[in-house]
Amino acid sequence: MESSASNKVGQRLVFHETGVPLEKLQVQAFSPPAPTAGQVLVRMLAAPVNPADLNFIEGTYGVKPELPATPGVEGCGVVEASGAAAYQAGDRVIFLRRAATWATHTVVAAESLFKLPATIDPMQAAMLKVNPATAWRLLHGFGKPEQGAWIVQNAGNSAVGRCVIQLARDLGLRTLSLVRRPELVEELTQLGGDVVLVDDEAGLVAAKAALGGATAALAFNAVGGDSALRLMNLLREGGVHITFGAMAKRPLTVPNGLLIFRDIQLRGLWVTRWIENAPDAEVRGVYADLAARVAAGTLVQPVDSAHPLEAFPAALARLTAGERAGKVLFAP
Ligand SMILES: NC(=O)c1ccc[n+]([C@@H]2O[C@H](COP(=O)([O-])OP(=O)(O)OC[C@H]3O[C@@H](n4cnc5c(N)ncnc54)[C@H](OP(=O)(O)O)[C@@H]3O)[C@@H](O)[C@H]2O)c1
């Protein structure tokens, strides 16, 4: 039997079979185990609900759960007990590997942790691993666009989309973002978006006019279907169209002419693969850069609401609320 770190009873969300998250999740009490050599016990401060977490519970994600499982691809916590010299109680950390973060406590291998500046906001830090790094890879992993080059994207108000806008602004690139809701145009422009338009056929006409004859070096597609096609139509010859999400759950339709006459390149990105396969020093260097931006307040993701674990039905209900203003998090 595992030895317990304390007599304190922790809590975690678990699912015993894949399916609809609201139907499959349960709250479970457990005794957080004491860390063995090389392990660290982390008390969770905050963990967001990402689309990938829902796909993980549904069984449709690139990683299949070992059941029963606790979801949570990322989060921020504080070290409570350490079996590794590199970490002391009180250190603020995030996890570079899946860590079952929808819990009050989690035990992980020390080598999978990343230590944060002590001053960083835990809510913002909880959202550092996935979406900022995805935006970073989109902007750095597919060639080096020249200064002032245009980047086009859909789901511009998503967490990734907002990170793209802020990072591109600081890298000297220009963004044209498509959104579903017209009320977001002003907000994303304030964030640093150069052009923000509604994602429909009239928006495509307006986008071509806004580019004034220019075409985009890169297109970031988180939606699929017709929206993905609109982005293709804004690309330059040889431009790269990167699919990293499928919010509309609709496949891409690619006109022959865009391949024959414009030679656009269709690529994909899964940030998990980059984290696991890139040299550790490269990954940690990117996170150090992103953490500094988050701590300085130049890379911000809005928070819609924070919920205790046992309020997971309310947290999941917020995800489908049309007026959601940012990420939904668990703050145990
Ligand atoms: N491949 C990777 O490594 C990777 C990494 C991170 C994220 N992702 C993916 O990137 C996407 C965005 O993630 P996120 O965490 O940034 O999202 P998020 O903050 O939860 O925002 C979701 C976005 O999707 C839009 N949306 C929702 N349903 C839609 C639909 N049926 N059709 C069109 N748009 C829809 C939302 O628009 P409204 O606000 O108008 O509802 C919003 O812009 C997801 O697909 C996620 O799985 C992939």
Residue 164 confidence (pLDDT): 98
Nearest CA to ligand 1 atom 38: 180
For residue 120, the enclosing domain spans 10-127+301-330
Same-domain pairing of 193 and 307: no
Mutate to test the pocket of ligand 1, among 56, 61, 180 (most ligand atoms within 8 A of CB): 180
Residue 3 within any structural domain of the chain: no
Predicted model pTM? 0.95
Whole-angstrom distance, CA of residue 297 vs CA of residue 244? 26
Residue 76: pLDDT over 80: yes
Cα distances (angstroms) measured from residue 265 to each of 193, 236, 237, 239, 307? 24, 10, 9, 6, 42
Atom from ligand 1 closest to the CA of residue 273: 3
Residue 249 within any structural domain of the chain: yes
Residue 41 within any structural domain of the chain: yes
Tell me which residues have their CB closer than 6 angstroms to ligand 1: 50-52, 130-131, 134, 155, 157-160, 180-181, 222-223, 244-248, 269-271
Is 87 one of the catalytic residues? no
Same-domain pairing of 123 and 149: no
Residue 4 pLDDT class (50, 70, 90 cuts):
low
φ/ψ (deg, to 5) at 54: -65, -45
Same-domain pairing of 224 and 103: no
Last residue of one domain, picked from the residues 223, 257, 272: 272
Residue 320 pLDDT class (50, 70, 90 cuts):
confident
Nearest CA to ligand 1 atom 6: 131
**21, 44, 45, 61: the active-site residue:** 61
Overall domain count for the chain: 2
Same-domain pairing of 122 and 140: no
Q: Over the stretch 195-243, which tens digit does the pLDDT of each residue have?
A: 999 999 999 999 999 999 999 999 999 999 999 999 999 999 999 999 9
Residue 325 confidence (pLDDT): 84
Residue 38 within any structural domain of the chain: yes
Same-domain pairing of 77 and 60: yes
